[in-house]
């Protein structure tokens, strides 16, 4: 199973969050996109990670992924999400369970 696939459910879910809640153009969202290239400042990135955590019902430990760290890509975020949810997630949400307003 490839986690880096742009068609993976995890990637699609975070892309939807970026597009819907953070108004990032879909064309600017790819697995290779660095978080720092999304046009979001550090506060918005923290808000984004919160939204992702709520959507996937998990917590991403900061030592695994600090969103402010340079060079972290959406692919890396997907990998961390999938690793954190393995064993607990019987059904990965294709869409965020609930995207907070």
Partner 1 sequence: MSSGAAHAVLAASAARAASAPVRVSGLGFITPIGRTVEDFDDALFAGRSAVRAQKLEIKGMDTMELAVAACDFESNGVRSTSRLPLDRGTAMALAAAQDAAAEARLDLETIDRDRLGIFWGSGLAGAGTFDSTTSALYGEQRRMRPTTVLTVMPNAAVAELALHFGARGSAIAYACACASSAVAIGEAMRAIRGGWIDVAIVGGHDAMLTPGVMASWHAMRVMAPPPADAPSSACRPFSGDRAGFAIGEGAAALVLESEAHAAARGAGAAPFVLAGYATNCDGTHITNPDTAGQVRAMRAALRDAGIEACDVGHINAHGTATSAGDAAEAASIREVFGKATPVSATKAIHGHVLGGGGAIELIAALRALAREALPPIANLQTPDAAFDLDFVQGEAREAKGIRYALSNSFAFGGTNAVIVAGRASER
Task: Name the site residues for partner 1 (rule: CB under 8 A).
Answer: 20-24, 39-41, 43-44, 46-47, 50, 54, 100-101
Q: How far is the CB of 68 from partner 1 (least distance, A)?
A: 12
Among residues 6 and 99, whose Cβ is nearest to partner 1?
Answer: 99
* Helix/strand/coil (H/E/C) assignment for every residue in 2-28: CCCCCCCHHHHHHHHHHHHHHCCCHHH
Q: How far is the CB of 59 from partner 1 (least distance, A)?
A: 10
Q: Which is nearer to partner 1, 39 or 61 (CB)?
A: 39
Rank residues 8 and 24 by Cβ distance to partner 1 and give the closer one: 24
- Which of 62, 66, 58 has its CA nearest to residue 87? 58
Distant-in-sequence, close-in-space partners of 29: CB < 8 Å, separation ≥ 6? 15, 18, 19, 38, 74
* CB of 43 vs partner 1, minimal distance in Å: 6
Which residue from 87, 31, 92 is spatially nearest to 57, judged by alpha carbons? 92
The nearer residue to partner 1, 51 or 78, going by C-beta atoms, is 51
């Amino acid at each position: 199973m490839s986690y880096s696939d742009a068609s993976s459910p995890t990637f699609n879910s975070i892309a939807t969050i970026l597009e819907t809640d953070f108004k990032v153009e879909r064309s600017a969202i790819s697995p290779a996109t660095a978080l720092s290239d999304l046009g979001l400042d550090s506060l918005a990135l923290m808000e984004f990670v919160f939204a992702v955590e709520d959507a996937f019902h998990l917590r991403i430990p900061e030592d695994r992924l600090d969103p402010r760290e340079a060079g972290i890509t959406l692919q890396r975020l997907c990998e961390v999400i999938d690793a954190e949810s393995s064993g607990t997630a019987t059904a990965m949400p294709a869409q965020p369970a609930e995207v907070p307003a």
